[in-house]
Structure formats: structure tokens, C-alpha cells
Amino acid sequence: MVTENYREVEKRVCEVCARSGRAREEVTLIAVSKYKPVEMIRELMAIGVRDFGENHAQELVSKTEEITEPLNWHFIGNLQRNKVKYVVGRACLIHSVSSLALAKEIQKEAAKKNVTVPVLVEVNIADEETKQGISEEEVYTLVREISELPNLVIRGLMAIAPPVESPEENRPYFRKLKQMQKEIAFFGLPRTEMTELSMGMTGDFEVAIEEGATMVRVGTAIFGAR
Ligand SMILES: *Cc1c(COP(=O)(O)O)cnc(C)c1O
């Protein structure tokens, strides 16, 4: 079932890339496996899937202990500072950096382990009270501050769009994030590449790709309801 679902999502990603004039390779499809068993992940590994998304540090640890094959584990969840040590060295990319305090903690751990940690800055794009992420106004300052941390590289921005009836409603938010990416890239900050835009989930990944997503995070459409 998981395999069929994945293939169906993959087909939709291909179709939207084709009709919006983008190469399929420009978009990474991340299978969000949070709360789902390792067996399901293995089913997808068998068809060549390598990018998985997790949002709890503890779950990332237990899954990477069970699955020792090299995979791209994306950390997409709210990261507490005391959990940073579990994620640095395990995740290929931390999508959810939204404060300087967290970035500094990642810096500390990265220096200790002598690694460079790729991160995305999470923006609260719809200014929702319940959401993680830095506000649109504050993001520019935060990116500048993070760019001074020697063991972090900023690869772009991430956003979780609000739940909506129609995915079209989120198009303006995706467009805004793309615009912010361009503006920040223009600063030419050190260790700041701004090539990635992580946006789009089960309900709205097609619109996100049309608006420039380079990473979509799809859980429910692949693994079923949680
Ligand atoms: C759970 C989760 C997803 C996947 O959501 P679906 O709607 O199930 O596709 C994507 N991004 C983040 C940050 C998540 O926590």
C-alpha cells in the first residue's frame, strides 16, 4: 500500500513539474514517516526512496538505530534545545530553525562533533499564533545572525502553510516565501546559499511546486492517516 501511495505521489510530482516547466530533479520528495513503523520505511527503501522526514528527536534516534543503511533523514519538527545533541550528526538537514538560541545550540554541538550542519530557517508565513517559526519581519535579522555561526550553513527557508479548504488559498504564502528567498540570496551572506525552499505537504504540495518548492514534505498521502 505504502509503495503504491508513494508511486501515486511521485506521479503527481512529475506531472506538476512537467506542466510548470520544472525538471523533476529540482524537487526532493520527502516521505514524512513520523509515527510510522520502520517496516513501512523499509518498503519504500526497497523501491529506492532515500529521503525521510521525522519531527521528534527521540523517534529519529530510535529509527536511525534500527535502520543503519545511509538515508537522508530530514528533521522537520519543533526542536528543543536539549534535544539538539540527538539530531546533529543524524539529520542531513534541519528544516526548523526559528531562533538564534536554537541556532547557537546547534553551533555548539556541531563544533563539538566537528561537523557542519545544513539548516533551513522556518518562517511563520501566515503569521499564525499557534505556529513555530520566525515572523516575516524578523527573518532577515535572524538569517544574518545565523550566518555568523561557523558550523552552520543556511540552505534556504521552510514554512508550514495553514490548513485550508483549497490548496489555492496557500499560493500567496508560497509565493511570499519564494520572494523572501530571493531577497535574502541577494544579501550574499557567508555560509548562506538560499537554494532550498521546503514547502508543501499532502494537501498543497502541487501548488507549492508551482511556486518554486525544492522540497515537499508528504506524510499522509504516502503513509496514510496518523
Ligand atoms: C507531519 C508533517 C508534514 C506532513 O504532513 P502531511 O499533511 O501528513 O503530508 C509536513 N511537514 C511537517 C513539518 C510535519 O510536521
What spacing in Å lies between the alpha carbon of 200 and ligand 1's midpoint?
9
- Which tens digit of pLDDT belongs to each residue from 193-217? 999 999 999 999 999 999 999 999 9
Ligand 1 centroid from CA 129, angstroms: 18
CB of 98 within 6 A of ligand 1: the answer is: no
Residues in the chain: 226
pLDDT tens digit sequence for 71-102: 999 999 999 999 999 999 999 999 999 999 99
- pTM for this entry: 0.98
DSSP 123-168: E-TT--TT--SB-TTTHHHHHHHHTT-TTEEEEEEEE-PPP-SSGG
Q: What is the DSSP letter of 189?
A: -
